[in-house]
Structure 1
Amino acid sequence: MAHEIESNDGLVLADCGAWHGLGLTVKGAPNPFAALRLAKLDWTVEESATLIGVNNPGEPNEFRVSTDTHKLLTRSDDHTVLGVVGKDYTPVQNEQLAELAYALRSSTDVGVEIETAGSIRGGKRVWFLIRSQSIEVGTRGDMVQPYLLLANGHDGGQALRAVPTNVRVVCANTYRAAMGQSKGTIAFRHTPGITERVDELARTINDWQHTVTKGLAFANSLAAKPMSSAAIKSLWVEVIERLDGKIPTDPQTGWEIRSKDRAVSGLAHMAQVFDREAQQFGATAWVAANAATNWIEHERSQYAVRTKDAGVRKYAAADGATADDVELVFDI
């Protein structure tokens, strides 16, 4: 299952359903505590005092061993196992995640709502996706929807994270996509004292709105900057060469031929996206940059990210490489 939503997972979505057809779609955005219930996240993580193993079960030499250096994490509702962790691992409960979302919602004077909330992998990963008001870049109706993803792991494999993103999280693939966007991410490990640091996180993520405002100002500056055809091509060539090396002018080897073919294909992809978008939003630096990021996300990731998983390759969340490449475009 590409979506990785199991039978004991839940999902709630505001207004619009997901591609996989799963989850509960509600009219309007629920508050965080309603989302907690609607997404079936109203369970807690329970910790065992020790970890016990049975060796050779049913055999004459059966024996048991126990250790207090590790513990078992289980769900309170159905007692399924979430993971085995060290004794110092401190869980952050789903309700605490809802409280974080509520703290942000109640501390701002602009609209902040729950877009989606849910879990995957049987509760090993949980999230709340907070949406702010849509913002317009430029003056021609180019709308951008900013989100803040609050994500947490219950198996010892993921820290508590707050991730600014433009990805609507509805499944495992989109979860990985959002998690791959590393810029501005805040992360806390599940070590003793994390509950106190959750309060710190609540204060810190309030800066998200300021980040959105700052990002809008930058985007508007690009949207107000017209670019000539020569300048646009120069930008795209620089993006390709910064990511993949100098484009061969007289390819001789197989590698050089493939490198040039990919560059030519990339320029054609960017030109096609740009021509389509420029008709509506103008021939600006914003549209040129977004044509480059479209190439990175939809074409270059097919060969730049080494994995057989098409979903991971598409979103490049294996190590966040695609997200970093997208950031490079706006740094040029």
Structure 2
Amino acid sequence: MSHLVQTMAYVGATPWHGLGNQLESNQPLEVWADAAGMNWRIEETDVMYRAGSHDLDPLHSFPQQKVLFRSDTKKPLATVSKRYQVVQPSEILDFYRDLTEVGGYQLETAGVLKEGRKLWALARTGQSTKIAGVDEVRGYLLLATACDGTLATTAQFTSVRVVCNNTLQIALGRSRGAVKVPHRSQFDPRAVKEELGIAISSWDGFMVRMHELADRKVSQVESERFFQRLFTYPWTKPDSNGPDKVNERGLKAVLNLFEGNGRGATLESAAGTAWGLVNSVTEYVDHQQRARNAGNRLDSAWFGAGAALKQRAWDAAIELIA
């Protein structure tokens, strides 16, 4: 398939990226595995090489590396070190078993990116708040992993603003809101849940910040300075003395969203506030930022450059209420 999302399942409304197979609510994890294309295993084998140029030359093993491949299609996924600890697609879904059966969580989306190199599932926690009485934000827990070197196994609290379906990771500090398990370590779901403190601490802190941002009015000068800061980048060449580069297209887009053209931009919580600044950036990343296709945009918004831009926007907004 041409997009990065190879297979995906969801419940409820069609996701903002418009991809996936729709399921009824409260389906068993086994049904999710089939619909999300996660009913296969990551297998491994030795790296082999041929020293000569002829097909009849013997194959040799390279013991320091191994090849990961899909059990169903046999397609290669990555070459990794012998110490690499595999996290299976089934483990991503099983992480939510007790949370959905007895914890009140509900799976809303799960799927496969990059032909199996990246896997994720997202569940609604049941936590939510309404900012200024109407702007609803819901809490979610995202679990994702990758075997191509781009992502540690990551459990991340995430919020979704209902009016525009924007996503924003809940990161109150470098050590809160997320747990990352590098692939040189064994993935222990129980330990991850304990470290996250699945309870309500991260959500409560995030909720306080959201309300504070909605109460913080910003001037036109402050908003322009905010976006200018986010969309200005230094030259990558260390010996260059030229001016910083500005993403003029992105800057114009977020200003347009903030000035009343974004989804929910005219709500009391967002109009002329620091909360509106943040949501202009999240809407731009999730819905407008240039991408080859919807799959690429999803990958960027959750795991890549888009997620980093949203985090910078959040950090810059928090400075306004410090």
TM-score, normalised relative to structure 1: 0.71
In structure 2, the CA distance between the partners of 1:286 and 1:222, relative to structure 1 (3 Å rule), is: farther
**8 Å Cα contact 2:137-2:160 kept in structure 1:** no
- The percentage of aligned residue pairs carrying the same residue is 20
**8 Å Cα contact 1:137-1:219 kept in structure 2:** no
In structure 2, the CA distance between the partners of 1:324 and 1:53, relative to structure 1 (3 Å rule), is: same
**8 Å Cα contact 2:122-2:142 kept in structure 1:** yes
Deviates more, 1:204-213 or 1:236-245: 236-245
Please point out which of 152, 172, 186 is paired with 1:194.
Answer: 186
**8 Å Cα contact 1:149-1:178 kept in structure 2:** no
2:155 is equivalent to residue 162 of structure 1: yes
Separation of aligned partners in 1, 2:276 and 2:3? 28
In structure 2, the CA distance between the partners of 1:237 and 1:157, relative to structure 1 (3 Å rule), is: closer
Q: What is the aligned partner in structure 2 of residue 77 from structure 1?
A: 72
Q: Secondary structure at the match of 2:40?
A: coil
- 1:118-267 matches, within 5 Å, as 118-133=111-126, 135-166=128-159, 184-191=177-184, 193-195=185-187, 197-207=188-198, 209-223=200-214, 225=215, 227=217, 231-233=218-220, 235-240=222-227, 242-243=229-230
Size of the aligned set, in residue pairs, is 297
Please point out which of 260, 270, 287 is paired with 1:272.
Answer: 260
Which deviations, in whole Å up to 9, do the C-alpha atoms of 1:44-64 show, x marking residues without a partner? 22222x32123556556x342
In structure 2, the CA distance between the partners of 1:218 and 1:117, relative to structure 1 (3 Å rule), is: same
In structure 2, the CA distance between the partners of 1:37 and 1:88, relative to structure 1 (3 Å rule), is: same
| Aligned partner letter, 1:189 | P
Separation of aligned partners in 2, 1:147 and 1:120? 20
Deviates more, 1:85-94 or 1:153-162: 153-162
Please point out which of 280, 288, 293 is paired with 2:278.
Answer: 293
**8 Å Cα contact 1:11-1:119 kept in structure 2:** yes
Please point out which of 35, 49, 52 is paired with 2:48.
Answer: 52
| Aligned partner letter, 2:122 | L
How far did residue 205 of structure 1 move?
Answer: 3.0
**How big is the alpha-carbon RMSD for the aligned residues of Structure 1 and Structure 2?**
4.2
Separation of aligned partners in 1, 2:84 and 2:62? 15
Q: What is the aligned partner in structure 2 of residue 171 from structure 1?
A: none
Structure 2, gaps ≥5 residues long: 233-241
Q: Secondary structure at the match of 2:311?
A: helix
TM-score, normalised relative to structure 2: 0.73
Structure 1, gaps ≥5 residues long: 169-173, 246-253
Separation of aligned partners in 2, 1:259 and 1:123? 33
In structure 2, the CA distance between the partners of 1:208 and 1:153, relative to structure 1 (3 Å rule), is: farther
Q: Which protein is richer in strand relative to its size?
A: 2
Q: Which protein is richer in helix relative to its size?
A: 1
Separation of aligned partners in 1, 2:274 and 2:27? 35
Q: What is the aligned partner in structure 1 of residue 5 from structure 2?
A: 5
How far did residue 331 of structure 1 move?
Answer: 2.9
2:319 is equivalent to residue 331 of structure 1: yes
Larger radius of gyration, structure 1 or 2?
A: 1
How far did residue 127 of structure 1 move?
Answer: 0.9
Q: What is the aligned partner in structure 2 of residue 89 from structure 1?
A: 84
In structure 2, the CA distance between the partners of 1:300 and 1:73, relative to structure 1 (3 Å rule), is: closer
How far did residue 32 of structure 1 move?
Answer: 3.7
